[in-house]
A and B are shown apart, each in its own frame.
Chain A
Amino acid sequence: MRTVTLPASDETLRSFRAGEMILLSGLVATARDAAHSLMLSTGNIPFDVQNVPVFYMGPSPAPPGMVIGSSGPTTSARMEPFIPEMLRFGMKIAIGKGDMSDSTRELFQKYGAVYLAATGGAGAHASTKIKSRKVIAWDYLGPEAVSILELEDFPVFVAWDLHKGSIYTGSRSR
Chain B
Amino acid sequence: MYTTTVAEISILPPMRENIKLISGEEISSAVAGLYATACIGPHCGVEERLEEILSEEDPGPGREALRIEIDNLKVAGKLGLPICQDTGTAIVFIQLGNMVCISDSSLSDAVNEGISRACAEAYLRPSQVFPPIGARKNTMNNTPAIVHIDHVFGNELKISVLAKGAGSENVSRSVMLSPLAGEQGIAEFAEACVRAGASKSCPPLIVGIGVGGNLETSAILAKKALLRELGIQSDVTELKELELRITERLNATGIGPQGFGGKTTVMETRILQTACHMASLPVTVSIECHAHRTASCVL
Contacts and interface: CB of A to CB of B under 8 A. Distances in A.
Interface of A: 19-21, 34, 57-63, 66, 69-72, 74-77, 97-99, 117, 119-128, 141-144, 155, 157, 167-174
A71 B85 contact: yes
Contacts of A125: 68, 71-72, 75-76
B121 to A, nearest CB: 10
A21 B65 CA distance: 9
A98 B82 contact: no
Interface stretch (B6-14, B17-25, B195-203): B195-203
B81 A60 contact: yes
Given A98-B201, A119-B68, A69 B255 contact: no
Contacts of B71: 122, 125
Contact of B83 (A59, A76, A121): A121
B139 to A, nearest CB: 10
A60 B196 contact: no
Most buried by A among B85, B256, B260: B85
Please give me the 7 A-B residue pairs with the lowest Cβ-Cβ distance, nearest first.
A98-B200, A121-B291, A124-B76, A122-B72, A120-B202, A125-B72, A60-B125
B166 to A, nearest CB: 8
13 contacts: A61-B123, A63-B80, A72-B85, A75-B167, A98-B201, A121-B72, A121-B167, A121-B289, A143-B125, A143-B138, A157-B65, A167-B61, A171-B253
B254 to A, nearest CB: 4
Contacts of B166: 74-75
B75 A124 contact: yes
Interface string B79-94: 1111111110000000
Interface string B111-132: 0000000000001111100000
Contacts of B80: 63
B81 A75 contact: no
B164 interface: no
A23 to B, nearest CB: 12
Sorting the interface of chain B by its residue count into under 10, 10 to 19, 20 to 34 or 35 or more gives: 35 or more
A58 B124 CA distance: 12
Contact of A157 (B61, B82, B125, B201): B61
Given A119-B65, A124-B76, 7 more contacts: A19-B261, A97-B167, A99-B199, A99-B259, A120-B258, A127-B79, A170-B253
B261 A143 contact: no
A168 B72 contact: no
Contacts of A99: 199-200, 259
B64 interface: yes
B170 interface: yes
Nearest to B265: A170
B134 interface: no
B60 interface: yes
